[in-house]
Amino acid sequence: MFYEGDPMNQPAWNRKLLNGYWMVVLLYFLAGLAGLVVTIVQFAWWLDYYLLHQLLIPLGLMAVEVAALEFGFRKRQERMEVWFLLTATVLAATIVWFNPNLHGMYALLALSTLMSLIYFERRLTLFSALLGILALFLLQVNPAVHASMSAYELIAMVAALFGAYLLGLCVILRGEQILNQLKKAMESERDLLVDNIMYDTMTKTDALTGLYNHKTFHEYLDSLLKLEADQLTMQVALLDIDNFKSINDTYGHWVGDLVLKRIALMIREVVTPNDFVARYGGEEFALILTDSTAEQGHRTLDEIRRRISEVVHEELDGRSVTVSIGFTDREPGMRKEELFKMADTRLYTAKRTGKNKVVGVRQETPNL
């Protein structure tokens, strides 16, 4: 059960299996050399037969079988699992064919069933078990193999291969159960994360404009002021919509809400990603401009004021809306209360002296 993009992908595991098959060939060669030494010492008369029929021929066949799989794998790495299981069965059958009296070798017929567990697919495990049983019966064509097994042993071997399949199936079922549990846990974690994000969004943002709320504004300002005080450059600004109460009274609150959303959008379009914008309450907005000088901050705020004043609202019978802005540039040692109070005082000055202007650290921008 492999999926595209899965880090534990099928070609990578097939490569490991193929290396394992080459290791089987190598182990057979080493075991054959050990047997050769024993044959030379104790059964010299049997040496020629041993070399040819139990070492060179089976070793050559096994090498050809694995080499053929290697060639196919290099040509086509995807969907090779059937060929890998078939090769495992053929390797086991080759060893048994040439070593019929080594009854322990019959267990190798379960090799493909073990290999199939890597693919984690029930159908492949069943296929590999059937391959092993089929190979066991086909081996009976060899008189030496047939003579080495009684009917009882044949039945027992079939039962053992079927038992290997059942064990493999249990492993797969348990694995599927664990995967399902992990999937449910991940889904629960994802749902919890989404809920937390939604809750965080609800508690930190203004539902109407999508901007941060006044609570988040103060939290962010506090976090900025905890940084290196002498290296922090920023301006705090308060923006208030002029005559907003008359808009609500004359045209209705739904029009007022529409104006608030439009102004919030225009502010967002002017400020940079490093700046912070919040709806402070009612028709008032709060801004924190960072990484800019007082002159740059003043130009940014005046651009906001200008854009807002140039927009004509059909819902207001073609009238425009203006805003007044007061801001202050942070100086070393200034606390949050001082920053906010100074910006609020300058906003009041802008309101009192004609509205539609920016009052800050330099001469205020006159209304146009």
**Whole-angstrom Cα distance, residue 113 to residue 164?**
7
Q: At residue 287, what are phi and psi to the nearest 5 degrees?
A: -130, 145
SS3 235: strand
Q: H or E element: which one contains 65?
A: helix 57-75
Number of Cα atoms under 13 Å in the Cβ half of residue 110 = 17
How far apart, in whole angstroms, are the C-alpha atoms of residue 235 and residue 340?
A: 10
Q: Is 121 a catalytic residue?
A: no
Kindly state the helix (H) or strand (E) to which residue 236 belongs, with its residue range: strand 234-241
**d(Cα 312, Cα 319) in Å, to the nearest integer?**
5
Residues 92 and 111: their CA atoms lie apart, in Å, by 7
Q: What share of the chain is helix, strand, coil (3-state, %, to 5)?
A: 70, 10, 20
Q: Which two tokens stand for residue 125?
A: 């495990």
CA distance linking residue 287 with residue 271, whole number of Å: 9
Phi, psi of 241 (to 5 degrees): -75, 125
Among candidate residues 283, 303, 331, 338, the one labeled active-site is 283
Buried b / exposed e over 226-246, threshold 16 CB at 10 Å, is eeeeeeeebbbbbbbbbebee
Half-sphere exposure of 352 (CA within 13 A, CB side): 7
Residue ranges of alpha helices (H) inside 139-150 are 143-148
Which of 245, 243, 323, 247 minimizes the C-alpha distance to 287? 323
**Positions marked catalytic:** 283
